[in-house]
Amino acid sequence: GVDAVDLIQQLERQAERFGADRKECGVRDVDLTCRPFKVYCEDGEVITSSAVVIATGASPRWIGAEGEQELISKGVHTCATCDGYFYRGKHAVVIGGGDTAMEQALFLARLASR
């Protein structure tokens, strides 16, 4: 078996090789009312993206952003491996934590431009 910490470090290195930018921040707010979508971090940084994957666990936990439910499968997804190909060459953001978010981010790193 592989130690969990070692696995996460291997996954991070792989994502970096595919050109993924990694930013850890608490998400203060998300604006899904217009494109590009905006993710507001607690540290004041604003991340813009044409796609947002909400990776909050095995059963999606919605974040409550305005327009979130209306944009399901129209730029807001909960499964990068299911819908990631829609974002080939586009900017994508993954919101979530833990193993699920890391898996989603690694998958998108091979497809998205950023």
**Active-site residue numbers?**
79, 82-83
Dihedral-angle region of residue 60 (phi above 0 means left; psi in -120 to 50 means alpha; beta otherwise):
beta
Main-chain dihedrals φ then ψ at residue 4, nearest 5 degrees? -60, -40
Go through the chain and tell me how many residues it has.
114
3-state secondary structure of 29: strand
Residue with tokens 């507001």: 40
Q: What is the 3-state secondary structure (H, E, C) of 61-105?
A: CCCCCCCCHHHECCCEECCHHHHHHHHCCCCEEEEECHHHHHHHH
